[in-house]
Amino acid sequence: MGSGKPAWDAATPSSLESRFFADDGLWRDAPLLTGQSSFDPLPDVRVIMVTGGEGFIASWLVRHLVAKYPEAYTVISFDKLDYCSSRHNSRMLEDRPNFHFVHGDVTCQTDVVDCLKRFKIDTIFHLAAHTHVDLSFGNSYAFTKNNVLGTHVLLESTIGVGTVTRFFHISTDEVYGEVDTEKGDLKEHSLLDPTNPYAATKAAAEMMVTAYARSFKIPAVVVRMNNVYGPHQFTNLLQRKMPLFIHGDGKHTRRFLYAGDAADAFDTILHRGELGQVYNVDSRDELSNFELAKKLLDTFGLTDTDTWIRWTRDRPFNDRRYAVDGTKLRKLGWVQRVSFEEGLAATVNWYSKFSGWWGPVDNTLLAPFPVLKGGHVVAPETSRKTEEHAAVGAQVDGGATLNRETACNGVEAGSKKRKVGLMA
Ligand SMILES: NC(=O)c1ccc[n+]([C@@H]2O[C@H](COP(=O)([O-])OP(=O)(O)OC[C@H]3O[C@@H](n4cnc5c(N)ncnc54)[C@H](O)[C@@H]3O)[C@@H](O)[C@H]2O)c1
């Protein structure tokens, strides 16, 4: 037997860097963004743990629950503060008695059990994950560790502590794999057929949840979501005067849901959903990557696609399209409220004011083709190269994307010279 560290330890990006705690006060000027729904509180829900609570989507849920249910629910944001999170996402809640941040790792049972016991958690929303699809092609062990082992540890800890009466596992439409245009939208019972390492880990995590629900009667619900976009996501870098990248032919489509609508979907499932069920969360706004790029350029008043769009090679495998049917959720009363135009305008407006939200990331997280090195997410080339090609007009010979769940959702992997795009 070799004496080295397990592969996934070597591949795990560092967290706990001081920049995640640094407080430059930017959040003080930021609006408190939430969804729009609210329900009569459930009497047996008191303390809700949201894993990954300092990331993009989970922070929308955290702010929503804290702001909409100040008397009824206490919300614990549990996060290891990985490379794409920001404490700014919840700092505006810190003077509220029903909010707490816990710095912890879901792969560490001690961290999880301590949190469950300390706060007597009765409800878990599990969103912590590695989500950057492009990183998953080259650093997949970290995805298995955080997404599969992390879910496993959370489930085991839930059984051990015994206080949790609702476990919501947040998954993705990517677990179904790609869906041909001539096929109908997929319902919740459709076969899971993931095609990239990220999606495979999300499907595997779901299997753990389903198995634990059967074996140990964990009161679980699985939620599979379309692409989510909005403020607080690492996205839309045009204001940094960087062109957008499109993988392949630009015809891949995705359906886009505003993050406030996603928060409403979670809120609806919490209050009206049935334990033991799976719910798709869908969107009516399906766009190709090229259409999305053009809409973004329009928003910035930019018309010259040759200057502002760079075409790159495709991912090793890139699902042409995802298509889920959210009828079951809509029957609970959820509606998609925010139109794509409205959501995009709100997103661009927010980023024009808060582009420094994640600190000085241009040469690391926003670098063209970030890689995991020595436990850190870094630019694969020297910062000299990054700067050399930072201005519009630099040549590009490889690829990035306009795609989704590129966690820190705007970071791309692919080429030697490059440029960064946007993500949604
Ligand atoms: N972004 C999308 O379009 C989308 C669509 C469908 C489903 N999802 C799912 O929603 C969830 C959130 O996605 P996101 O885009 O907001 O991701 P994100 O990358 O912005 O946030 C993930 C958060 O999880 C935290 N985290 C990662 N590993 C952890 C660990 N081991 N312990 C504790 N915290 C950890 C990170 O620090 C980060 O704050 C994920 O589970 C993802 O699979 C996302």
User: Which CATH number belongs to the domain containing residue 142 in this structure?
Assistant: 3.40.50.720
The pLDDT score that the predictor gives to residue 387 is 32
371, part of any domain: no
Q: Whose CA is closest to atom 11 on ligand 1? A: 127
User: Within a domain: residue 417?
Assistant: no
Quick one: which of 175, 169, 205, 209 has its CA closest to 189? 175
Residue 399 belongs to a domain? no
Ligand 1 atom at shortest distance from the alpha carbon of 198: 43
131 has a pLDDT exceeding 70: yes
d(CA 355, CA 136): 26
Does residue 156 sit within a domain?
yes
Residue 108 lies in a domain: yes
DSSP letter (8 states) at residue 317: S
C-beta separation of 181 from 255 below 8 A? no
What spacing in Å lies between the alpha carbon of 98 and ligand 1's midpoint?
23
Q: Return the best residue to mutate from 14, 16, 82 for the ligand 1 pocket (most ligand atoms within 8 A of CB).
A: 82
- The pTM for the full model equals 0.86
| CA-proximal residue: ligand 1, atom 42 (nearest) | 131
Query: Can you give the three-state secondary structure of 19-36, one letter per residue?
Result: HHCCCCCHHHHCCCCCCC
Domain, as residue range, for 268: 7-228+254-282+321-343
The predicted-structure confidence for 173-229, as pLDDT tens digits, reads as follows: 999 999 988 889 999 999 999 999 999 999 999 999 999 999 999 999 999 999 999
CA-CA distances (angstroms) from residue 390 to 241, 242, 307, 367, 400?
A: 9, 7, 13, 9, 14
- Asked if residue 190 is part of any domain, the answer here is yes
Decide if pLDDT at 395 tops 50.
Answer: no
* Each residue's pLDDT tens digit, 307-358: 888 888 777 777 889 889 999 999 999 999 999 999 999 998 898 888 777 7
Name residues whose C-beta falls within 8 Å of residue 120's C-beta, 6 or more positions apart in sequence. Answer: 46, 47, 163
Q: Has residue 336 been placed in a domain?
A: yes
- The contacts of residue 234 (CB under 8 Å, 6+ apart) are 56, 84, 358, 365, 407, 408, 409, 410, 411, 423
Question: Is residue 327 situated within a structural domain?
Answer: yes
- 């592969």: which residue's tokens? 7
Separation of CA 130 and ligand 1 centre (Å) = 6
Active-site residue, from 174, 206, 267, 282? 174
What is the gyration radius of the CA atoms in the chain, in angstroms?
A: 20
Closest CA to 342 of 388, 294, 299, 386: 299
Has residue 75 got a pLDDT over 80? yes
Number of separate domains in the chain: 1
CA–CA separation, 311 and 330 (whole Å): 37
Q: Whose CA is nearest to atom 26 of ligand 1?
A: 128
